[in-house]
Structure 1
């Protein structure tokens, strides 16, 4: 079996895919079409799919009727292996897509909306990537045509004839159609997405894309509760699952009419903002208003409790919770299953500190008690934080900014490590037996080392309780002076501190 190619970040240029001419595919493909009250355009979509160059025995089409009345029907012109299923629970495009996937069998999944007329090579052009790169998400190209400009839509037989004669460009009188401007502009600006950063998932919009079923499941499928923006949200989770996004200009199509976003951009953006902010931590400015506890945090912080005392764990945890970036969730990793309700002396409890830690954070919504290693997905970062280290208020934010600015998958500062979820998931797909995860993450995303002091990480020398239950507290040696008026007062305070320090030293010498 050939090794899985190692794509660095989103630079897919190192991957070689077969030419369309003479290629012999081997993997089965399911084209999933969510459809609602669109019989006329669905007929055209299926007519175009009936002439695909992809082998018919490897291609199935599943149309998910999202509750149309009257119910949709399959037209005569359609691929041989076409199934019509009616959604029986829930509604919306995301739900219909998930329903269609559930009733499909292909190794590769290909989304297609019911108002698309695709060129004969459309399916083959996209899914050849998944034949060699299992974590590729391919994106087709489309041109928008409007019935008001080009007259009534052609009959399915006209589409079939144009495909048979090999003249798909002439289907709408030779019109060029309108490009998906934002998408194609972003693709151009990022050298066909090869230089795209961690925000490349935002390109996962529109009506045509393909990916493996394994990647679909690794990203947990569509969020069936979303009514709009499901493609962007799923694109975000695909990115966290290690996907590389590949634009495929050979996968051409016509889009019949303008999209809902084109017709009502401001209203759609306003609707999506609340849902995106809760589920997608990027871009960061989307979370400048609203709550501080989100369904998907920016970072999962893992603090291994072990046999550490309450004071040390609390110092490390509270430093995170009180930081300048509140968009976190702290996972206290420990043997919490050892805490039982049997009779035990409260003071002599063999698991006393463990019990006290659990009681301390029982009501804190941003803290979880976990017994198994944490998978950060779908959060974009995981911070490994040994409890003997304390973060400055802006340390986590600084680490994330370093990771994003340098586009690396790992930032290490001594024993503290910030892991990018997308890099870890990518590494797990290409990792050889016995290969260190850190090395593979570095290979596919890069890594960066910082000194702890440079990012505000200090050792916790006070974490453990001292004799007689009292905690050592360092005497302050400096006093901030707020201005000229406070200079005299500051001088008095410094004098009192100096005298106090002197008395302490005399007592210790005795």
Structure 2
């Protein structure tokens, strides 16, 4: 099996994809089309799909009727392997897409709205990327045409004739149509997304995109509770799952009419703001209003409790909770399941400190008591924090700003490690046998080391008695274990029995 290509950040230019001419695809594609009261434009969409250059035996089309009355029907001109399914539970585009995925079989999933007329190479141009890059999300191009300007829509038979004659540019009398200005402007400003940063997911909007089924599942699929903005929110989770976003200008299409965002931009933005703020930590300004506890935090902080005393764990935890950035969740990793209710002298309890820590934070909404290693997804960051380390109020914010400014996947400050979720997820896909997670993350996103004092981290080694403990000469390198999860477990086991040798020099 060929090694999976390693893309640095979003620079997809290092990936070699096949030329469209003469290419023989091998992977099956399911085109999923959500439709609601769209029979007239759906007929044109299916007519254009019936003339795709992608092999017919590898192309499946799933039309999802989202409760139309009268019910939608499949027109005569359509791909050979087209089926119509009707949503039985829920409603909305996100729900219909999820429903269509469940009724599809393709290795590659391709979204397409029921008001799109796609060029013959549209599917092939996008699917070639998923043949070589499992974590690629491709974005097609479209031009908007308006019936008031370009006349009534053509009949499906006309689309079929124009496609068969090889002149799709002439479908609307040679009109160029209106580009998706916001998307194309961002693509051009970022060298075709090759220099795009962690906000690239925001152009995962519109009616045409493709990705591998396993990436769809790794990202958790569409949020079926959303009625608008589901593409942006799913794009965010795709980014956290390690996706690289690839614009594909060869995947051209006509969009029949203007989008809802074009017609009611301010109203749509107002509606989406509350939902986006709760689910997407970026851009940071979206969380300036509302609560302080969100469904998806900016960072998950993991503090391994081990057999540490209450005072040390409390000092580390409270320093995080009282920071200037409240958008955080603390995970205290410990053997909480060992806290049995059997009779024991309270002061002679062998798990006394563990029990006191649990009592201290059990009611705190931003603290979780966990017995297994934590995966940060869908939060964009995970901070591994030894209980001996104390953060200054601005430390977490400063670490995140460093990671975003330098676009790195790992920031190390002493034994505190800030991991970018997107980099970790991608590294897990491309990691070679025996390669450390640290090295794989550095390869796909870069890393950076900072002096602990420079970011406001100090080490405290005071025990419950107040006496300074002498650290044992032991060091655990995260890069030497097979995964971040195992590293977290090992830190939890060692802390309190073999303290780290890296004491931070004060001064």
What's the TM-score once normalised by structure 1's chain length?
Answer: 0.91
Matched with 1:172 is 172
Question: For 1:206-285, what aligned pairs fall within 5 Å after superposition?
Answer: 206-285=206-285
Q: 1:487 matched to which residue of 2?
A: none
- The residue aligned with 1:385 is 385
Q: Which residue of 2 is the match for residue 287 of structure 1? A: 287
**In 2: Cα distance, 1:112 partner to 1:463 partner:** 61
Alignment partners' CA distance in 2, 1:38 and 1:389 = 59
Cα deviations across residues 145-178 of structure 1 (Å, max 9, x unaligned)? Answer: 0011111100000000000000000000110000
> Looking at CA atoms only, which structure, 1 or 2, has the larger radius of gyration?
1
Give, in whole Å, the separation in 2 of the partners of 1:356 and 1:32.
Answer: 53
Contact 1:315 1:463 in 2 (8 A): no
Counterpart of 1:408 in structure 2 is 408
CA–CA distance in 2 between the matches of 1:461 and 1:371?
Answer: 24
Q: How does 1:38-437 map to 2 (within 5 A)?
A: 38-437=38-437
SS in 1 for 2:96: helix
1:140 Cα deviation (Å)? 0.1
**Counterpart residue number, 1:501:** none
- 2: CA distance, partners of 1:466 / 1:156: 81
Corresponding residue for residue 3 of structure 1: 3
Q: Is the 8 A contact 1:311 1:465 kept in 2?
A: no
Q: 1:498 maps to what in 2?
A: none
Distance in structure 1 (CA, Å) of the matches to 2:144 and 2:245: 22
CA distance, structure 2, for counterparts of residue 186 and residue 135 of structure 1: 21
- Map 1:29-40 onto structure 2 (within 5 A): 29-40=29-40
Residue equivalent to 2:438: 438
- For residues 402 and 130 of structure 1, the distance between their equivalents in structure 2, rounded to whole angstroms, comes to 32
Partners in 1 of 2:250 and 2:413 — Cα distance? 45
The superposition leaves residues 164-196 of structure 1 with CA deviations (integer Å, 9 ceiling, x where unpaired) of 000000000110000000000000000000000
Following superposition, the deviation at residue 463 of structure 1 comes to 4.5
Which whole-Å CA distance do the structure 2 matches of 1:129 and 1:346 have between them? 62
Query: d(CA) in 1 for partners of 2:210 and 2:199?
Result: 19
Q: 1:70, 1:463 → 2: CA distance?
A: 73
**Are the counterparts in 2 of residues 8 and 443 from structure 1 also a CA contact under 8 Å?**
yes
Deviations along 1:377-414, one digit per CA (max 9) or x if unpaired, are 00000000000000000000000000000110000001
In the TM superposition, structure 1's runs of 4+ consecutive aligned residues that sit over 2 Å from their partners are: 461-467
- Alpha-carbon distance in structure 2 between the residues aligned to 1:388 and 1:260: 53
Question: Cα deviation per residue 1:66-100 (whole Å; 9 max; x = unaligned)?
Answer: 00000000000000000100000000000000000
Secondary structure of the residue that 1:320 maps to in structure 2? helix
SS in structure 2 of the partner of residue 128 of structure 1: helix
Is the Cα contact below 8 Å between 1:4 and 1:133 reproduced in 2? yes
Return the alpha-carbon distance in structure 1 between the equivalents of residues 364 and 294 of structure 2.
14
Cα RMSD (Å): 1.0
Inter-partner Cα distance in structure 1 for 2:464 and 2:455: 24
**Deviation of the 1:460 alpha carbon:** 1.2
Query: Which secondary structure does the structure 2 equivalent of 1:123 belong to?
Result: helix
Query: Given that residues 388 and 463 in structure 1 are in contact (C-alpha distance below 8 angstroms), is that contact kept between their aligned partners in structure 2?
Result: no
Deviations 1:100-151 (A, max 9, x none): 0000000000000000000000000000000000000000000000011111
Displacement after TM superposition at 1:465 (Å): 3.0
**More deviation in 338-347 or 185-194?**
338-347
Q: TM-score, normalised by structure 2?
A: 0.92
Question: 3-state SS of the aligned residue for 1:397?
Answer: helix
Give per-residue Cα distances to partners, 1:2-53, cap 9 Å, x unaligned: 0000000000000010000000000000000000000000000000000000
Name the structure 1 match of 2:502: none
**TM-aligned CA deviation for residue 448 of structure 1:** 0.4
C-alpha separation between the residues in 1 aligned to 2:369 and 2:212? Answer: 34
| Counterparts of 1:465 and 1:404, CA distance in 2 | 41
**Count of matched residue pairs:** 469
Q: Distance in 2 between matches of 1:65 and 1:321?
A: 47
Aligned match of 1:451: 451
Deviation at 1:224, TM superposition (A): 0.3
Unaligned ranges ≥5, structure 1: 473-510
Q: Is the 8 A contact 1:323 1:393 kept in 2?
A: yes
Q: Secondary structure at the match of 1:347?
A: helix
Does the Cα contact within 8 Å between 1:412 and 1:450 map onto a contact in 2? yes
Partners in 2 of 1:284 and 1:166 — Cα distance?
A: 47
Write the distance in 2 (CA, Å) between the matches of 1:172 and 1:464: 78
Supply the distance in 2 between the matched residues of 1:100 and 1:41 (Cα, whole angstroms).
Answer: 19
CA contact (8 A) 1:298 1:380 kept: yes
**Secondary structure of the equivalent of 1:40?**
helix
Give the Cα–Cα distance (whole angstroms) in 2 for the partners of residues 430 and 254 of structure 1. Answer: 36
Per-residue CA shift, 1:237-257, capped at 9, x if unaligned? 000000000000000000000
Unaligned regions of 5+ residues in structure 2, if any? Answer: 470-507
